[in-house]
Homo-oligomer: A and B are copies of this chain.
Amino acid sequence: MPQQDQPPEAVLREALEANGQRFTEQRAAVYRFLSSTDKHPTADEVFLAVRSQVPVISLATVYKSLETLVGCGLAMKLTYGDGSARYDGRTDPHHHARCLQCSRIFDVAGRLPSEEISELKEGTEGFHVTGYRLELTGYCTHCQPVEPASA
């Protein structure tokens, strides 16, 4: 099992080497930022944040670094209907809540019992389930529901 108490750089270096990828300053910067926030930034937001710490980095490199991190299991890519993908530095299984008004993503504390998923697998006849994703939708504390008041 990988070590969580090592310095972030060491964790990254190890994960990259395990996947035959090189350690670079740009990837380190992206990883540092992503693992330091509990927000779920878009690639562009990562780009803006990282650029203030690394002299020069291109948006394309941020995209590729993020994909590399996802490939190494150090990040997750979250996609929703509204434009950009978002990235999550948390790699332990957890769920998200998405605000229908402001599109922000929040982490949810609880977890779904694994038996429930096992039961659902039975309804897939032939499909080989390897994982799942659960997302709650609604309105965050800053956004009041603006649903039509009609019945």
Contact for A136 among B97, B106, B124, CB less than 8 A: B124
Give chain B residues whose Cβ lies under 8 Å from the Cβ of A108.
120, 123-124
- For A119, the chain B residues whose CB sits under 8 A away are 110
Chain B residues, Cβ within 8 Å of A106: 124, 127
Q: How far is the CB of A84 from chain B (nearest CB, A)?
A: 11
Across the interface, A129 reaches (CB within 8 A) one of B80, B125, B126, B136, namely B136
A149 close to chain B: CB less than 8 A: no
A63 on the B face (CB < 8 A)? no
Please tell me if A112 contacts chain B, counting CB pairs below 8 Å. yes
Which A residues from 94 to 151 make CB contacts under 8 A with B? 95, 97, 99-100, 106, 108-110, 112-113, 116-117, 119-141, 145, 147
Partner of A116, one of B77, B116, B139: B116
Q: Residues on A close to B: CB < 8 A?
A: 77, 79-81, 85, 95, 97, 99-100, 106, 108-110, 112-113, 116-117, 119-141, 145, 147
- Besides A79-B79, A99-B127, A129-B136, 12 more A-B contacts (Cβ < 8 Å) are A108-B123, A109-B124, A112-B112, A112-B116, A127-B140, A128-B139, A128-B145, A129-B138, A131-B138, A132-B134, A133-B134, A134-B135
